[in-house]
């Protein structure tokens, strides 16, 4: 595990600055797994990052499971929250998505992935009062 960044975020403008600093790091083919409690800011993080790629209308894929954005690089934003079993996650066919190496991947609720065998960037968001501590590491 290699720590890439760690920041305490006090406001949305600080989050925007932080996500902007990650744009050069998160290249096509990068798989980003989000670890955080409900309401900690996973989707807000993705929305902020997407704004730096010129996408202003990104949204949570909680009900669609997968949102695709034609940004540069293109992005798949995947939300595993509603998937109750390993079989349901398998039916999503993440291997197919990951074979699209020109894409950047954001996966919310990564805790549901039982056996992670691929290199990825883990993004942990921890709430501390009204602040968020964001830890980004290569695994």
Q: Tell whether the model's pLDDT for residue 118 goes beyond 90.
A: no
User: For the sheet containing 31-36, what is the strand order?
Assistant: 2-9, 131-138, 121-128, 31-36, 104-108, 75-79, 66-69
Q: What is the pLDDT of residue 47?
A: 97
Q: Tell whether the model's pLDDT for residue 116 goes beyond 90.
A: no
What is the DSSP-derived secondary structure letter of residue 111? Answer: G
Sign of the C-alpha dihedral computed for residues 20, 63, 36 and 87 taken in this order:
negative
Which domains are delineated in the chain? 2-138 (3.40.50.300)
> How far is residue 110's CA from residue 8's CA, in Å, rounded to a whole number?
21
Q: Tell whether the model's pLDDT for residue 111 goes beyond 90.
A: yes
pLDDT tens-digit series, residues 22-34: 999 999 999 999 9
- Of 5, 1, 3, nearest in space to 14 by CA: 5
pLDDT tens-digit series, residues 54-109: 999 999 999 899 999 999 999 999 999 999 998 999 999 999 999 999 999 999 99
> How far is residue 56's CA from residue 14's CA, in Å, rounded to a whole number?
18
What is the DSSP-derived secondary structure letter of residue 2? Answer: E
- Mean pLDDT over each residue of the chain, to the nearest integer: 95
Percent of the chain surpassing pLDDT 70: 100
């Amino acid at each position: 595990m290699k720590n890439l960044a760690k920041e305490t975020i006090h406001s949305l403008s600080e989050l925007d600055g932080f996500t902007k600093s990650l744009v050069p790091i998160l290249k096509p083919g990068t798989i980003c797994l989000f670890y955080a409690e409900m309401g900690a800011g996973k989707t807000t993080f993705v929305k902020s990052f997407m704004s730096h790629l010129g996408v202003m209308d990104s949204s949570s894929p909680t009900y669609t499971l997968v949102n695709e954005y034609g940004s540069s690089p293109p992005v798949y934003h995947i939300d595993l929250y509603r998937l109750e079993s390993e079989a349901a996650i398998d039916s999503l066919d993440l291997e197919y998505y990951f074979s699209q190496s020109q894409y950047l991947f954001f996966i919310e609720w990564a805790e549901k992935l039982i056996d992670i065998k691929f290199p990825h960037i883990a993004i942990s968001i921890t709430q501390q009062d009204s602040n968020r501590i964001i830890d980004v590491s290569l695994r």
